């Protein structure tokens, strides 16, 4: 499959990859037809999706079955009035109908807008009216159904509501009852161009209202490198990415790149995360490849991993936030497996990563993905030297856009221009590059703390704190100070065995620990113990929420 879309399919080094990575871009590429249906034709009995839930229900879908069922979904959507270009919000958690919906919408040229089940009525109304949502397909659960139904009266464009059950209230189409009554699907004569919108993600940004990152159909093609190279998948892989389908990481790890590789996607549909339960599932189904945000690894290494048969597990990756070296080292010590880090945004596919032909450096994001022209810029727009902190940017123009980069923020040219101008897309993320070309994450531009003339990146302090055995998670922010301008604050989640020791002595111990691990001026002068950190739906720490809470506080040195 890969050879249809790449001039060269195997690479031996960073230089080989960067020089020879070249996409073969079909005219009017459509992932559902050109990848899913192609697999169904070549190997109809090959496993595509292995779905199970926390009640022990299990479903296995071959590529042949996925083709037939996605055709059926496409015909069903047409029968209820969904057409090419229509905006369709999808709130399906980890239910297997998500994959049928994504492929069915693609087959008729409608636009998918994945969303989390945690949205309130206000959130849904905002999204409906910003994007012009015509239909919502959602899980049949009381909370979600109520929020969706309540949103309709304030959403003029919203016409159609669909529930996949088990509850189907009045006013909602009944997916599983109705879709058996539709005629056979007939592929439309013209479904899409490469430039048409495939999907829109409302970015879960750490500040401000969500933005609508619009991706064209080549976005799916851009994820070929995510699954085939970064995840290092093959046709015999069973891959698990821990992600709710309401945010962008789901299609990074549960759909596009995996099916390019011919790998089977493993889905564990659960209500509440438990490291123990997740590890049991990985052992039971012999998962071979695993990707999760750093938080998941932090909880996993606190389990007795010798209790689980992880002998099938061959490859592990992480993204979402930078991985603290202490977690990297501990996981490798316990499992013998190296974690390969990657970096990207809702607006991109993987832009930086540690590929199989690279030697990982604990805590580094890796090197630029060859499909992107990456640079680090100073505030004045000039390029940084090695060792110098700057903003990660992508050199691109609308006419010469890398495969995988977004089209812009839908219906918001001003916001698009604010981050993408003069041939450069500004990520807003800070990093530095070492002499070997590896990039090291510093934090969002707004997260950098300026104290007594020093610029302190939160991640370097968090990494130091994470090497202390008491710390499960932490967030570093700045608090206004009457002398230093800002001082460093650590908001800390302790391990359960340390919670009864959360006193001033432990705070002092953590401060001294940071002084030993990194430059002493970076140590947190303020430490607050909490049960959990505020996060976005994608698992990213919302430091802005902590800063806002502390805004009225002025520390006295």
Count of beta carbons in the 10 Å neighbourhood of residue 491: 24
Specify the pLDDT at position 557. Answer: 55
Q: In whole angstroms, what is the distance from residue 305 CA to residue 310 CA?
A: 8
Could you give the CA distance from residue 311 to residue 300 in angstroms, rounded to a whole number? 16
Cα(356)–Cα(227) distance, rounded to whole angstroms? 12
Instruction: Round to whole Å and give the CA distance between 250 and 254.
Output: 5
Using CA of residue 328, residue 242, residue 212, residue 420, what is the dihedral sign? positive
Per-residue confidence band for 451, with pLDDT thresholds at 50, 70 and 90: confident
* pTM of structure: 0.85
Q: What is the dihedral of CA 214, 217, 221, 223, to 10 degrees?
A: 30
Q: Across-strand partners of 353?
A: 342, 367
Over residues 329-375, the pLDDT tens digits come to 999 999 999 999 999 999 999 999 999 999 999 889 999 999 999 99
What is the average pLDDT score of the chain?
A: 92
What is the side-by-side order of every strand in the sheet holding 471-481? 471-481, 485-494, 526-530
State the residue for tokens 């030993």.
516
Phi first, then psi, for residue 430 (nearest 5°) are -100, 145
Query: Cα(544)–Cα(142) distance, rounded to whole angstroms?
Result: 31
Terminal C-alpha separation, the chain:
62
Mean pLDDT, range 182-196, rounded to an integer: 94
State the DSSP H helix or E strand holding residue 71, giving kind and residue range, or none if neither.
helix 63-79
Query: Tell me, what's the pLDDT at 206?
Result: 46
Higher pLDDT: 540 or 196? It is 196
Q: Is the peptide bond before 166 cis (omega within 30 degrees of 0)?
A: yes
What's the confidence (pLDDT) of residue 453?
66
Q: How confident is the model over 397-433, as pLDDT tens digits? A: 878 899 999 999 999 999 999 999 999 999 999 899 9
Task: Using alpha carbons, select from 82, 134, 132, 131 the residue that is nearest to residue 104.
Answer: 82
d(CA 199, CA 88): 9
CB-based contact 459:341 (threshold 8 Å): no
């Amino acid at each position: 499959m890969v050879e249809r879309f790449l001039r060269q399919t195997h690479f031996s080094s960073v230089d080989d990859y960067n020089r020879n990575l070249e996409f073969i871009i079909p005219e009017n590429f459509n992932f559902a037809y050109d990848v899913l249906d192609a697999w169904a034709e070549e190997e109809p009995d090959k496993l595509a999706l292995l779905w199970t839930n926390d009640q022990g229900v299990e479903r296995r879908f071959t590529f042949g079955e996925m083709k037939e069922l996605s055709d059926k979904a496409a015909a069903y959507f047409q029968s209820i009035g969904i057409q090419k270009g229509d905006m369709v919000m999808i709130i399906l958690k980890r239910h297997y109908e998500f994959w049928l919906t994504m492929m069915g919408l693609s087959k008729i040229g409608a636009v998918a807008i994945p969303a989390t089940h945690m949205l309130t009525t206000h959130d849904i109304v905002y999204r409906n009216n910003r994007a012009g949502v015509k239909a919502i397909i959602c899980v049949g659960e009381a909370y979600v159904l109520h929020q969706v139904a309540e949103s309709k009266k304030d959403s003029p464009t919203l016409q159609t509501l669909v529930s996949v059950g088990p509850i189907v209230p009045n006013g909602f189409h009944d997916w599983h009852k109705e879709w058996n009554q539709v005629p056979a699907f007939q592929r439309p004569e013209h479904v899409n161009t490469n430039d048409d919108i495939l999907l829109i993600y409302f970015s879960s940004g750490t500040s401000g209202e969500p933005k609508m990152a619009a991706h064209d159909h080549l976005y799916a093609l851009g994820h070929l490198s995510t699954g085939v190279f970064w995840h290092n998948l093959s046709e015999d892989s069973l891959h698990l990415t821990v992600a709710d389908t309401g945010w962008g990481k789901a299609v990074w790890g549960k759909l596009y790149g995996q099916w390019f590789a011919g790998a089977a996607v493993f889905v564990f549909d659960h209500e509440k995360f438990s490291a123990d339960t997740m590890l049991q599932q990985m052992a039971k189904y012999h998962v071979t490849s695993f990707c999760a945000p750093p938080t998941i690894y932090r909880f996993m290494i606190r389990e007795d991993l010798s209790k689980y048969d992880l002998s099938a597990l061959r490859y592990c990756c992480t993204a979402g936030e930078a991985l603290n070296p202490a977690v990297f080292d501990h996981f490798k010590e316990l499992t013998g497996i190296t974690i390969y880090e990657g970096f990207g945004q809702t607006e991109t596919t993987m832009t930086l990563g540690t590929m199989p032909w690279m030697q990982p450096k604990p805590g580094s994001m890796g090197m630029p993905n060859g499909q992107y022209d990456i640079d680090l810029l100073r505030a004045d727009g000039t390029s940084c030297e090695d060792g110098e902190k700057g903003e990660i940017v992508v050199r691109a123009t609308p006419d010469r856009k890398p495969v995988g980069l977004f089209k812009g923020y839908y219906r918001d040219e001003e916001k698009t221009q604010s981050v993408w101008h003069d041939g450069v897309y500004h990520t807003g993320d800070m990093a530095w590059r070492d002499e070997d070309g590896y990039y090291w994450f510093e934090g969002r531009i707004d997260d950098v703390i300026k104290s007594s003339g020093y610029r302190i990146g939160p991640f370097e302090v968090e990494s130091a704190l994470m090497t202390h055995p008491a710390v499960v998670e932490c967030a570093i922010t700045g608090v206004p100070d009457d002398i230093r301008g800002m001082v460093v604050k650590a908001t800390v989640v302790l391990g359960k065995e340390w919670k009864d020791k959360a006193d001033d002595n432990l705070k002092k111990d953590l401060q001294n620990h940071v002084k030993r691990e990194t430059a002493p001026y970076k140590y947190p002068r303020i430490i607050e113990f909490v049960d959990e950190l505020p996060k976005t739906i994608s698992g990213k720490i919302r430091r802005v929420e902590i800063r806002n809470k502390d805004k009225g506080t002025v520390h006295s040195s």
